[in-house]
Amino acid sequence: NYARTVSKGRLSQQEMDKRMALIQPAERLDELGDADVVIEAVYENLDLKKEIFARLDTIMKPGALLATNTSGLDVDAIAASTSRPEFVCGMHFFSPANVMKLLEVVKGEKSSPAALGTAMALGKRLGKVSVMAGNCPGFIGNRMIGGYSHQANLMILEGASPAQIDKVIYEFGLAMGPFAMADMVGLDLGWRARKMRGGSNEVTSRIPDELCELGRYGQKNGLGYYRYEQGSRVPIAD
């Protein structure tokens, strides 16, 4: 992401080098034991997240904040896999995380004021607009987007194309239409989540699910609602 931003002239090479120098990679979870905050960001699989938090619980020092970047899974279920649910909360960064300002800090049933205060303060330090959300399906942002995307997919079933719908939304004033946004995030995330829940009876899930069955996951592999030239994120009606 940084290299692409530099190539577009939005970030200097010097600033990129400065930021990269702050990143220290680790190959094993046990190398994170001295961290004050750990933010888990694996894909939306509740069992996997619970497994990771159970391991982190044995590794992280007392008082460390354990945060999940889930966009809508049950934070309390994740926290219950640890012996310190009071130090667990959600920190949902919107994609792309290095650009989008919004950060949802999700309060679990047992999240302590200290944990939530740390998460909100960290968001401010990162330059984010932090909002407190309750632990419910989709939190705030994705609950809103859910209805919006549902109606957009109904319009496809009624005969409109993704490009037509996105064009109207863009002209209305939004930065992206629902289908360009879905391609950017990755259609496979919702598809895999629905499969783990045993599928969906929603008629509007049929379109993204069928696209994924065809191997069309979005920008990540060049085919989604749109197609993309190699190395480009410009959607092309397909």
Distance of alpha carbon 26 from alpha carbon 42, whole angstroms: 15
Of 133, 142, 123, the closest CA to residue 181 belongs to: 142
Distance between CA atoms of 182 and 167, rounded to whole angstroms?
15
* Residue 179: closest CA among 200, 155, 202, 198: 155
**Helix/strand/coil (H/E/C) assignment for every residue in 38-66:** EEECCCCCHHHHHHHHHHHHHHCCCCCEE
**Which listed residue (49, 84, 92, 128) is catalytic?**
92
143: which residues sit within 8 A by CB, 6+ positions away? 136, 137
CA–CA dist 134, 136 (Å, integer): 6
Residue 74 phi, psi dihedral angles, 5° rounding = -75, 110
- DSSP bridge pairs for 160: none
Closest CA relative to residue 92, chosen from 180, 218, 189: 189
**92 catalytically annotated:** yes
Distance between CA atoms of residues 64 and 50, nearest Å: 17
Task: Give catalytic residues, as residue numbers.
Answer: 92
